[in-house]
Amino acid sequence: MYAIVEIAGQQFKVVKDQRLYVHRLKDNEGAKISFDKVLLIDNDGKVNVGAPVVTGASVSAKVLEHLKGDKVLVFKKKRRKGYQKENGHRQYLTQILIEGISEKGAAKKAEAKAEITEEAPVKKAAAPKAEAAAPKAAAPKAKKVTKTEE
């Protein structure tokens, strides 16, 4: 079983017990987190594709550590001009462990929200029938003036 989930703006294919490096998350080390933006779930050949997300599905994970990635060097040079520029960058990352993939984990929350919105509809006050039945007086149409009549 695997899932495609959106974590910190990027999409990842995740499997249970997989270690994954993602962009820095705000959660503390050792915290358990859940991702609800599950785009696809494959359960032994039975594929469930969301539009855009699979309703009720979630991926649970645990934050292992916060760290910095390898240094990436950017070197710019223009030949015969004497221009050289070197720049470095280290990305802030979070290592997470995927603990489980749930197809129907958040379905209860979605149903609870649906029940709240299905309250009795507000009845509109009926308009008096006398006003609706009375025809409105038509405004007189303006006469078109041509150049010959001026």
Is a pLDDT exceeding 70 seen at residue 116? no
Which pTM was predicted? 0.62
**Average per-residue pLDDT for the chain:** 84
Structure tokens at 13: 């294919």
Distance separating alpha carbons of residues 5 and 49, to the nearest angstrom: 11
Give CA–CA dist 60/34, Å, rounded. 4
Residue 40 confidence (pLDDT): 94
Give the side-chain half-sphere CA count within 13 A for 128.
3
> CA torsion sign, 8 to 9 to 14 to 18?
negative
Over the stretch 17-56, which tens digit does the pLDDT of each residue have?
999 999 999 999 999 999 999 999 998 889 999 889 999 9
Radius of gyration of the chain (CA): 31
